[in-house]
Amino acid sequence: GESHALAITEAARRELEKVLGIGVMKAKEHYELLLKQRKLTTGCANLDAILDGGLEPAAITEFVGVFGSGKSQLMHQLCITVQLPEEKGGLAGKALYLDTERGFSPKRLVAIASRFGLSPEEALDNVYSVYVVNTDHQVVLLDEVERLVSSEGVKLVVVDSFTSHFRKEYPGRDRLAERQQKLNRYLGQLMKIAVTYNVVVAVTNQVMASPDPKDPMEKAVGGNIMGHGTTHRIWFWRRKGSKRMARVVDSPRLPEAEAWFELGEGGVYDAEPDK
């Protein structure tokens, strides 16, 4: 059951306090702990720069953007970079890809693995994937997520897309409260796994037209729940051709900053800003 799945044993709690310093501590100790945390490289220097070195463990980093803005491409790339040794910005670990839109592509992983000098066969062997059929399945899978993270060396959990099933199953305003409650609970449980096992969690989210005509900005699906429930929010925009722009829009530690990248055969590459 839910309580069992997320119950942290006493030993794990003590271990956790050691690793993450969740017990009471001074700000100086907290600061030193943050400095010691190993970030996961995106494999793209421009993106790493706005993320202060890469994706933070024990946190949820959310990537928001329209279809084709490069979110899934980056998720595939992270499944490769997590396997790199620590001196190359990786975590020498495996990845788990929760796929809600049938976007997972082993072929894409092979191309990215070659670019990063990994044997494609070995790289594929280190990536678990599961097609998620609906929101109930997404929630039930948390047990499996926890098992793989705790005993199979998974250091990265990807959810692509985080919100698509919630959006489809709970249409209209009358079911909004119910949807948000379920979304909130799921986010909280995923965050608990991220923090307990010190893993990187990367999720993608879609955009929708603003419901308020006075505020024409696009909105991320999931409203405030997603905004508050994830740690860092990075927004992707399409630019000329294969170029894209990323911006940190919401984060407790990262300043608002922009990065340019482009999409290619081997994944996500650095790019110069459009003139």
Note the pTM of the prediction, 2 decimals: 0.86
* Tokens 């202060």 -> residue: 52
CATH code linked to domain 40-270: 3.40.50.300
Convert the pLDDT of each residue in 213-265 to its tens digit: 666 567 878 777 677 778 999 999 999 999 999 999 978 788 899 999 999 99
Convert the pLDDT of each residue in 7-57 to its tens digit: 556 656 666 666 555 566 777 766 666 666 789 999 999 999 999 999 999
| Reported confidence tier of residue 176, pLDDT bands at 50, 70, 90 | confident
Residue 221 pLDDT: 81
Is the pLDDT score of 181 beyond 80? yes
Cβ pair 231, 189 in contact under 8 A: no
Convert the pLDDT of each residue in 124-174 to its tens digit: 999 999 999 999 999 999 999 999 999 999 999 999 999 999 999 998 888
Q: What are the boundaries of each domain within the chain?
A: 40-270
Question: Is 40 in a helix, a strand, or coil?
Answer: strand
Residue 91 pLDDT: 97
- Run of H or E residues at 203: strand 200-205
Cβ pair 142, 179 in contact under 8 A: no
